[in-house]
A and B are shown apart, each in its own frame.
Chain A
Amino acid sequence: MKRRIQTILQNLIAWIFSAIIVIPIIIIALNSFKNVKESNSMSFHLPSIWEFTNYLEVIKRGNLLVGFRNSFSYALLSTLLLLVVTLPCAFVLQRRGAKRLYRILYYVLIIGIALPLNNIALMKVMVGLHLMNTRVGIYLLYAAIGLPLSVFIAHGFMSGIPRELDEAAVIDGCSAGNLFLKVILPLLKPVASTLFILNFLNTWNDFTMAIYFLNGSDKMPVTLSVYNFFGQFQKSWNLVCADIMLTALPVLIVYLFAQKYIIQGLTSGAVKG
């Protein structure tokens, strides 16, 4: 009997926690269907009339189609670039970790996890490299931002791949490139998926980089579109909420499909460290 009460209690607590997390999301969803006056208070009440047209208005005024195309291309291409750069790097760093130089290089790479970005100095560098206000520049920038944590996670994962595999392949006459591409890479599916999803999410949600390093309304990502609906003198919370739903929905879906990999990847990095 005591066990039963304990079980029920534990389940109750679990549901309470989940409710705390979910409530703000529900509030946004509800308010996205209200008219301007009702949505002002961002309350939990159901809308008196369900204004589905809010979504259409947001798509038009927020230029969301262009924004989606931009966000998607930034997130996808910078993440792919990140993977291409990170995986071989983490592999070599882990395999040659016994040598001092490689340990030091590893620390240099992951120091970015702690190091804050210096925006103005960074801007001067981007100008000097002729990357300012270019799409290529943004891809490189996002990739660089995601690099430290990605190297850390990938490095941890690599230690789980036995060196015997490398030795076997070499005996069979593999070159370095082939070893990595044909033997190691297929085994990296889990961590690659994790890194892909984590970095895709982070890039999709970013807005500070876009404000400073991109010009032109044709280059704006979807995260900035919310600012179309509130400023100093005017706030249309219903449209803001509809915009939030539209811009967060893709990442939410990606997350739901792939949350297993995020967790797997994060943990493999964390446990083996």
Chain B
Amino acid sequence: MNCHIFCTWEVLMKFRKYTSVLLSLLFAAGMAQTALADDSVTLTLGCSQSQLPSSGIFEQLCEEYEEQTGIHIDIQVTPDDQWTDVLRTKLSVGEAPDIMWADVDGLSIVDRINPVENCVSLADAEWVDRLEESVRNDLSVDGTIYGISFKGPKFWLYYYNKDIFAQYNLTPPTNYEEFRAICQTLYDNDITPIYEAVQEGWHHGLMWYEVAGVYQKEVPDLYEKLNTNQIKVTDVKSMLTVLEQMQDFAQSGFYGPDYMSNSITNDFGAMADGSVAMTFESNGWEQQLLDSYPEMDGKIGYFILPWGDNDTLGITPTQNGLFINKNSDHIDEAKAFFDYLASPEKLQEYLDGETSIYSVCWPEIDSKYPEALKEYMNQFDTSVVLQSGVKFVGGQCFEIEKLMASMFLDQLTPEECLQQIADIMDEQGELQQDPYWVG
């Protein structure tokens, strides 16, 4: 075994001259390969793992486009955790791909991708007026639109196992007290009431963000006031109440014994085998569950989040968007690609091809919400969720969520947690030199 290394080394040394020639050839070959001129155009598209629809429909659309036009779309996938940072870094050094798929939801667009500096204006595209209005606004800065998006709005619900509820004579709660009572009953009968996954970093924070309708009811024009630094989150009593409720659940064991270490992707199995009665997931989850566990058909119900006696449906109108790099050599081709994706046939194909979404953000394409869900949704007013409407929350390093985790484990009181959230927001306001913070 030892001979191998020796022999290779000796051979290399003996034929040093030839070795160095060989190496330089390899080197040159490696270089040449990358520099090899391609006659056809290639558009580079940078995205994160979870932005791509899981069914592969996006890759399919890209392939069809290539068949049609000869233009190849090179999809470069970056790990979820790093994508936002990597994109910013690449933009700052001028090395970003032609097309960038960025996570932007309302106010974060400037922070995530700074379109005025980095992106091409799409104001004169044919499809701009066909795009849903709130999405159009979210993808614009000062009235100019820079991005395109496809997914319909996202909202979160508690999904529950109907059989378990029936077994203990439970009905979906309409307020917090009922919610708590249901969980207590389940807990007393050795069933984990709710599946939580704090280790993911982002999941548990959504409970607080998504019931923003409650906060907006307490303080009219709440978002306006928060965004102009007229009030702080510590001034909103219901925000504290919801935090207290979340902590109460954690310390009463309602999230189960493993809630700190669970993976959210395991909730399918946990719901299917009946060890857990409820899970907190986004629209389309039920469809995905049925894909893996068809025996659960008809056994899953849902209700809106009851935290703080919430009675609105919180929605995130825009979750991400595709933008064109200002420094790209193929701006026209990228624009043409967007036109292609925005054509009614392709939009329909997108919706049909992806099971986990119910609608696209293009009013001309009918949604495929199940009737029952549609009826249920129509009962409620909608409200834009906190992270889409308020500045300086929803940061990708999940600082706020970490505070909540500390609160679950009794390292912080809810008051301290809320105060530190306010501090984080102030810190960002000063860092970003927001005129309302630095005057």
Contact = CB atoms under 8 A, between A and B. Distances in A.
Interface of A: 37, 40, 73, 77, 80, 120, 123-124, 126-127, 132-133, 135-136, 181, 185-186, 189, 192-193, 211-212, 215-220, 224, 227-228, 230-235, 257-258, 260-261
Contacts of B54: 233-234
A211 B82 contact: yes
B9 interface: yes
Nearest to A228: B77
B74 interface: yes
Contacts of B90: 215
B241 to A, nearest CB: 29
Contact of B79 (A77, A193, A224): A224
Interface string B79-105: 110100010011011110100000000
Given A257-B4, A260-B2, A211 B86 contact: yes
Nearest to A128: B93
A103 B54 CA distance: 58
Given A215-B76, A216-B74, A227-B49, A189 B9 contact: yes
Given A40-B269, A231-B80, A215 B5 contact: no
A213 to B, nearest CB: 9
Contacts of A227: 49, 77-80
B431 interface: no
B23 interface: yes
A37 B49 contact: no
Contacts of A228: 49, 77
A36 B215 CA distance: 41
B97 A232 contact: no
A231 B48 contact: yes
A193 B95 contact: no
Given A123-B93, A193-B5, A232 B76 contact: no
30 contacts: A73-B30, A77-B23, A77-B26, A77-B27, A80-B23, A132-B95, A135-B31, A136-B31, A186-B13, A189-B6, A211-B78, A211-B82, A215-B44, A217-B75, A217-B77, A218-B34, A220-B76, A224-B79, A227-B78, A227-B79, A228-B77, A231-B48, A232-B49, A232-B50, A232-B202, A233-B54, A233-B264, A233-B265, A235-B263, A260-B2
A235 B77 CA distance: 15
A132 B93 contact: yes
Given A189-B6, A258-B5, A127 B77 contact: no
A240 to B, nearest CB: 12
Contacts of B266: 40
Contacts of A224: 79
B1 interface: yes
Given A217-B74, A224-B79, 18 more contacts: A77-B23, A77-B30, A132-B95, A135-B31, A181-B16, A189-B6, A189-B10, A192-B9, A193-B9, A216-B44, A216-B76, A217-B77, A219-B34, A227-B77, A228-B49, A231-B48, A235-B265, A258-B5
- For the residues of B in contact with A, the DSSP-based class is helix
Interface residues of B, number: 44
B86 A234 contact: no
A224 B76 CA distance: 11
Interface of B: 1-2, 4-6, 9-10, 13, 16, 23, 26-27, 30-31, 34, 44, 48-50, 54, 74-80, 82, 86, 89-90, 92-95, 97, 200, 202, 263-266, 269, 292
B89 to A, nearest CB: 6
Given A37-B292, A80-B23, A231-B49, A215 B95 contact: yes
Nearest to B4: A257
Contacts, number: 93
Find the residue from B30, B34, B75 having the highest chain A CB count within 10 A.
Answer: B30
Contacts of A186: 13
B86 A212 contact: yes
Contacts of A136: 31
A235 B26 CA distance: 38
Contacts of B13: 185-186
Nearest to B74: A217
Contacts of B48: 231
Contacts of B30: 73, 77, 135
4 pairs of A and B residues whose beta carbons are closest in the complex: A231-B49, A227-B79, A232-B50, A231-B50
Contacts of A232: 49-50, 80, 200, 202
Contacts of B94: 127
Contact of B89 (A123, A135, A181, A257): A123
B265 A215 contact: no
Contacts of A135: 30-31, 34
Contacts of A219: 34
A220 B46 CA distance: 13
Contacts of B86: 211-212
B41 to A, nearest CB: 15
A58 B269 CA distance: 24
B365 to A, nearest CB: 23
Nearest to B282: A233
A257 B95 CA distance: 40
Contacts of A230: 49
A229 B287 CA distance: 21
Contacts of A218: 34, 74
A30 to B, nearest CB: 19
B26 to A, nearest CB: 8
Contacts of B16: 181
A159 B416 CA distance: 60
B77 to A, nearest CB: 7
Nearest to B2: A260
Given A135-B31, A227-B49, A233-B50, A217 B265 contact: no
Nearest to A229: B49
Contacts of B89: 120, 123, 212
A73 B9 CA distance: 18
Nearest to B76: A217
Nearest to A136: B31
Contacts of B77: 217, 227-228
Contacts of A216: 44, 74, 76
